[in-house]
Structure 1
Amino acid sequence: MAVLNYRPGEGIMQPNNNTKLQPRLLALLISAWLSPAAMAQSAETASADNAKRLDDVVVTAQKRSQALEDVPIAITVVDRDTLEKERGRTLFDMQQLAPNFQLVKAGFNSITIRGVGGGGRSIGFDTRAGMYLDGVYLGQSPALNMPLFDIEQVEILRGPQGHLFGRNTVSGAVNVTTATPSPFFDAKLRAVYGNNDAFEGYGSVTGPISESVLGKIAASYETRDGYTRNVFNGDDLDNLDRFSTRGELSFLVSDKLTIDVYGDYSDSEEDTIIGEPITAFFDSPLPGGVLPDRHVDFNTTPFINAELYGGSVKVTYAMDSGDTLTAISGYRNTKQQRQNDTDYRAADIIRINFNDKFEQFSQELRIASSNEGRLRYVLGVFYLNEQADSDRRVTIGQDMSEYRNRERGGFWFAGFRHQLAFDLEPRRALHPRDQGHRIQPRWQPQRCVSHRDAR
């Protein structure tokens, strides 16, 4: 029998009458014989690891804690590690982490999911994609600037979610879950420094206060010099100064009853621009031509100052039947002051000043069945009361002539939420949905000036 022996450097197999297998060839044959089994074992291990990772991802997209793979919703989950690694500081940064998601900044903030979003600069307008913080609805666009620090995970649900989340979720919903207090003491401190004297500092402390009380407090501070030069006075615009804090107490009343008390506060100041003009009024050419990028010529300094705070009380009771009873009481308060040079020129033609105040109270009560069994359900009621006060002024020219448009309004809403799921066969389920709609007139004035996006 002729044995083929590979001689390095020759590139071909040569006959060898020696009937003894060379050690290298023997190892090669054994390796080839074992590779299919090794590859199959590796595939099984990888599959098991992937399944384990999916099982480890727990979401509350259906108002109950479930494994991600068991939720029949188009959903993207971004956890704390990913947010810290990718430096996801606000929802604006989430655009790089989630498909079909966009946060539009055009004088007001608006979430767009699958191309559907909207809203308006009026405090009475709502968006078509809702945002929720620990189950509490955040209805106003300034709240979308909330920093994403000390966050457990962010769930972006694509598609209508009105059957469980209610109003203003035509295109989807953003469900933000904060980190809960830990039964073990833990402290973290992180600082980041960058160009334009950018500084970010984050700190948190969590741990047990007593045998039945857990606590957590976290704070962040962000500051940055401006990077857009105003040639009118030499100031730098697009700066940032923001302080935020949040805390939570968890009362472990019993093995079945838990009460979570949560609160947060954020204050931010920005001299921010909407865009850089490329034409003057009535689309006429700018005197002297278009300025270079990151340069504007405004006689009025634009700014947005926002103060956001709120809190919630969540009561969770595990019933003997396996169902979970949940009650969430939430309060939110939003205050925003905004000024803009609406003529986008050095000439003193027109400027606007907005002073918006928004107050909201919500109450939700629901019962959710366990995840076991073929029949699963969620039943609940929801109440929402909103009060808005908007003082908006338009100043024309140097004579300080003033047109004042003052709006006041209120709104209350009550609804019934439900969900029923029945397994038709393994891995398939029937989910009938019911969604209510509220039609609200929308009005938005148009500016006779073109500009390029400031981003």
Structure 2
Amino acid sequence: MIQRTKALRLLAAATALTTVALPQAGFAQAADTPAADVSDAGDMGEIVVTARRREESLIDVPISVSAISGDALSRTGAIDITTLQDKTPNMTLQVARGSNSTLIAFIRGIGQQDPVWGFEPGVGLYVDDVYIARPQGAVLDIFDIDRVEVLRGPQGTLYGRNTIGGAIKYVTRRLSHDFEAKIRASYGSYNQREVVASVTVPLTDTFSIGGAVAYYKRDGFGRNLFTGAEHYNKDVLAGRVSAEWTPTDQLSVRLAADETRDNSNPRHGYRLLPNGGLPDFNPIGDVYDTRAGVGDDNKVVTKGVSGTIEYAASDLLTLKSITAYRKGHTDTVIDFDGTPGPVLDIPSFYKDHQFTQEFQALLQSDRVQGVFGLYYLNGSASGAFDTVIGNANLTTLTSGDVDTKSYAAFADVSVKLSDQFSVSVGGRYTSDKREGTVFRADYLGLRSPLFGRPTAVPFRIRTDYTNSRTDKKFTPRLSLSYKPVEDVNLYASWSRGYKSGGFDPRGDAIFTPGTVNGYKPETVTAYEAGMKGAFLDRTLFVNVAGFYSDYKDQQVTTQFLSGATVVSSVDNVGKSRIYGWELELRAVPDRDFQVQASVGYTNAKFKEFLTLDPLTLKVRDFADERVFQNTPKYTANVSATLGHDFDGLGRVTITPALSFRSGYSLFEVPNPVLDQKAYELVDLSIVWTSPDKRFSISGHGRNLFDRKYRVGGYNFPGALTGNSVIGFYGPPRTFTVTGEVRF
């Protein structure tokens, strides 16, 4: 109750005091629709989306989604897509522990924190409708982007790969048939230097090529006090090229390629507990500092190509094909203990590749609209890491791969029964085949043959198997809409979500012999009801949504010490229930003043949590002792925009913003040392734009009160592992000045 009162008090204060933010008619509220093209329909803030493959007012769409334009993200100084966490209710979107560009995502309590190869994410990520199967390199920077959309709840009847918790869609800019170019440069705190440039060149009336490049460089928020290296720094180079051909009004072809190279140093974490008074083990310096001795080498490379063909066969039928191939490679090290010695060190590498093909048939008439699709994914994810425990002079090598072949057919049809009533029915059939290979072995000494000690010979094989499983599932969806008046839509929906089973890439067959059989799929049955409406002559937009989910066979990863090594277990732990609500408001009384606010509430509880007790080596129910990770009960944000045109001198807008998150646990087992308490973040942006909109200068202050908040951690207490309880933190207070020129 204290947290809730604080959140509401902060929101009220910010709404009263802010003179500003959010001129984006490209921000859709809490209960909107999947994959939407967002456009400004005028100063009164109408939002037009194409979530169901056609243009319609966001008010008319009975599916939950939030969308924010790339321009709006740039205006508020957003660096990457994790900024969406501060603007979207009931969502956690963070850089994964120990990494710079690996993504963890949770929506309404459902997600996946573990980024090891072979695990399916609970929240899917799409780039231009191409599903990204792996989280490595998925913390996408904001450049050459049209918009980002957040879809809440199970997805699968409208787009590509099915996702059980929701989806994030990153949509890049389409090319125009006019020459366009722009360059943006930034300088800021911690010697931040950034340059982003893009260009579109029309070669004919029907054929254009374009490209964008982005370079991000920043010193570290902290230092490695043992090696002297930057810690929490950034060193990223990214690029994208595309070509678009529209020979007729009926046919369009788009080819695109992208590559990102992240050479930022690894993150090793900050020790939260001392160990026996030894100076190297005590918490030291700032939370962004470390004394890790495992090294400072890290490299992440991701790249891909895609082709999209769209053909309007008639006024009623459009055919579409999306073909893509992606690959990635990561070399990194993680120091779990944060000390110079090899107490608990993890050198590792990951690699993956995927091919996807999607065919769609889009139907549109006055009364009936629908999409029918076929989807295929063929992917492989592999990797290896050493668990080096220096106090035992022991190394455990874990390596393997998981291959996936997925086939799916999906459909979603909406029928307008009258001017007031409409119904939408959808379904998806998915068949997932996975083959997993896992090898674990113990070596005396430090490091295995894969990580620098070629003469090492295992003295014990812990896991060595190859196995496969096929999971099949039909997941339906139904929604009903009723419009009592033109600008108010009442809706209710029911859907089922599914995430396939698989194999634990860390599975230890000595400790849990059943790991060779893999784990089962998990499912969710989701209910939602809401209202979306425009009031006061369309100057106030209100979205309200309530949801309830039955979650079964939830896949949960547990890691702990067994003897002189770390073991892993993935269990279908049982049952849980999740309920909550979302409220979003957007007031647009005129072009010069707008206010946006949202509040989300999620109540998630395990009803059954069956897993192995490491003390008794027997399965028991831990439901009363476990909580949902990365799921705060309350999330809230408020911002406003005050804008003013100066005759002949351009336009100035001021955008303050406040976001709030109540306390949350980083793992299913609560830990008062590691878990994050409630916190709020305050940002401020000031933007000047020239009268012809060719030039702009902006200043951005983020986390103005310099809050220190944990976004990840590791929990391996005990003398053998050096009492390794460490935390990873979100960015501190920063200031940035940006200039942009458009040609």
Establish whether TM, by shorter chain, passes 0.5: yes
Asked whether 1:106 is paired with 2:89, we answer no
| Aligned match for 1:70, one of 50, 56, 60 | 60
Q: What is the DSSP-based 3-state SS (H/G/I as helix, E as strand, rest coil) of the residue aligned with 1:439?
A: coil
Give the secondary structure class of the aligned counterpart of 1:82: helix
Asked whether 1:208 is paired with 2:199, we answer no
Task: State the AA in 1 paired with 2:729.
Answer: A
**Cα 1:53/1:329, change in 2 over 3 Å:** farther
Q: Does 1:409 align with 2:406?
A: no
Q: Which moved more, 1:205-214 or 1:95-104?
A: 95-104
CA shift, 1:261, in A, is: 0.5
Q: 1:54 & 1:122 partners in 2: Cα distance?
A: 46
For the Cα contact (< 8 Å) 1:129–1:173, is it kept in 2?
yes
- Letter of the 1:106 counterpart: R
Calculate the TM-score normalised by the size of structure 2: 0.51
TM-score, length of structure 1 as denominator length: 0.82
- 2:51 corresponds in structure 1 to 61
Q: 1:429: Cα distance to partner?
A: 2.2
Alignment correspondent of 1:266 = 260
Which of the numbers 87, 101, 104 marks the counterpart of 2:77? 87
1:219 and 2:333 equivalent? no
Cα gap change, 1:65/1:305 in structure 2, threshold over 3 Å: closer, same or farther? farther
Larger-gyration structure (1/2): 1
Q: Does the Cα contact within 8 Å between 1:59 and 1:155 map onto a contact in 2? A: no
Deviation at residue 126 of structure 1 after TM alignment: 1.4
Alignment-derived partner of residue 455 in structure 2: none
Q: Residue in 2 aligned with 1:445? A: 559
Residue 115 (1) aligns with residue 113 (2): no
Report deviation, 1:63: 4.5
What is the identity, as a one-letter code, of the residue corresponding to 1:390? G
Superposed CA deviations along residues 89-118 of structure 1, whole A, max 9, x for unmatched, are 211122223222221322452111123211
Instruction: Give RMSD over aligned pairs.
Output: 2.5
Deviation at 1:391, TM superposition (A): 2.2
**Cα distance in 1 between the residues matched to 2:249 and 2:176:** 16
CA distance in 2: counterparts of 1:292 and 1:155, whole angstroms: 39
How far is 1:366 from its partner?
A: 0.7
Which residue of 316, 319, 330 maps to 1:322?
Answer: 316
In structure 1, the residue corresponding to 2:340 is in which secondary structure? coil
Q: CA deviation at 1:341?
A: 1.1
Separation of aligned partners in 1, 2:72 and 2:334: 36
Matched, 1:359 2:353: yes
Q: CA deviation at 1:362?
A: 0.4
Query: Are the aligned partners of 1:339 and 1:354 in contact in 2 as well (CA < 8 Å)?
Result: yes
- C-alpha contact 1:261 1:311 (8 A) present in aligned 2: yes
% identical aligned pairs: 27
Mapped pair 1:170 → 2:164: yes
Query: Bigger shift: 391-400 or 270-279?
Result: 391-400
Q: Deviations over 1:128-168 (max 9, x none)?
A: 11111111001111132222211011111111112223545
After TM superposition, list the pairs within 5 Å mapping 1:330-341 onto structure 2: 330-341=324-335
Match of 1:394 among 382, 387, 399: 387
- Flag the 1:242–1:137 CA change in 2: closer, same or farther, 3 A: same
User: Which amino acid letter does the alignment assign opposite residue 327 of structure 1?
Assistant: S
Which has more helix, going by share of residues? 1
Offset at 1:88?
Answer: 2.1
Which residue does the alignment assign to 1:342? Answer: 336
1:304-343 CA-to-partner distances (Å, cap 9, x unmatched) read: 4210110111000012242211100011111111201122
Specify the SS of the correspondent of 1:253. coil
1:37-73 CA distance string (max 9 Å, x none): xxxxxxxxxxxx9975688644343355544333221
Query: Which residue is equivalent to 2:695?
Result: none
State the alpha-carbon separation in 2 of the partners of residues 98 and 193 from structure 1: 28
Q: 1:452 to 1:399 in 2, by over 3 A?
A: closer
Unaligned stretches of 5+ residues in structure 1: 1-48
Partner of 1:145: 139
Q: Which amino acid aligns with 1:163?
A: T
Instruction: Select the structure that is richer in strand.
Output: 2
Q: 1:330 to 1:428 in 2, by over 3 A?
A: farther
Q: Which amino acid aligns with 2:75?
A: K
Query: Could you tell me how far apart the structure 2 residues matched to 1:69 and 1:54 are?
Result: 14
- Contact kept? 1:54, 1:68, Cα under 8 Å: no
- SS of the aligned residue for 1:163 comes to coil
**Residues 246-295 of structure 1: CA deviation (Å, up to 9, x unaligned):** 111011122211110011111011223253111257xx666474223233
Aligned position for 2:151 = 157
**CA-CA distance at 1:206 after TM superposition:** 0.6
For residues 356 and 113 of structure 1, the distance between their equivalents in structure 2, rounded to whole angstroms, comes to: 26
Give the equivalent residue in structure 1 for 2:369.
376
Question: Which residue matches 1:229?
Answer: 223
2:284 equivalent to 1:291: yes
124-133 or 299-308, which deviates more: 299-308
SS at match of 1:148: coil
Contact 2:231 2:289 survives alignment (8 Å): no
Tell me the distance in 1 between the aligned counterparts of 2:82 and 2:268: 15
Give the 3 Å change call, closer, same or farther, for CA 81–149 of structure 1 in structure 2: same
Change (3 A) 1:190 1:303: same
Q: Which has the higher contact order (CA 8 A, sep 6+)?
A: 2
Query: Unpaired runs of 5+ in structure 2?
Result: 1-38, 428-474, 476-496, 503-518, 520-554, 561-714, 717-723, 731-743
Encode CA deviations 1:166-208: one digit per residue, 9 max, x unaligned.
5452121111111011111111011000121111101011131
Amino acid at match of 2:414: A
Native 8 Å contact 2:118 2:401 kept in 1: no
1:452 deviation in Å?
3.0
Show the counterpart of 1:301.
Answer: 295
Secondary structure of the 1:165 match is: coil
- Decide whether the 8 Å contact of 2:268 with 2:338 is kept in 1: no
Query: Contact 2:115/2:136 (CA < 8 Å) preserved in 1?
Result: no
Aligned partner of residue 395 in structure 1, secondary structure: strand
Q: Secondary structure at the match of 2:66?
A: strand
Amino acid of the structure 1 residue aligned with 2:112: G
Q: Is the alpha carbon distance of 1:196 and 1:119 closer, same or farther for their aligned partners in structure 2, counting shifts above 3 Å? A: closer
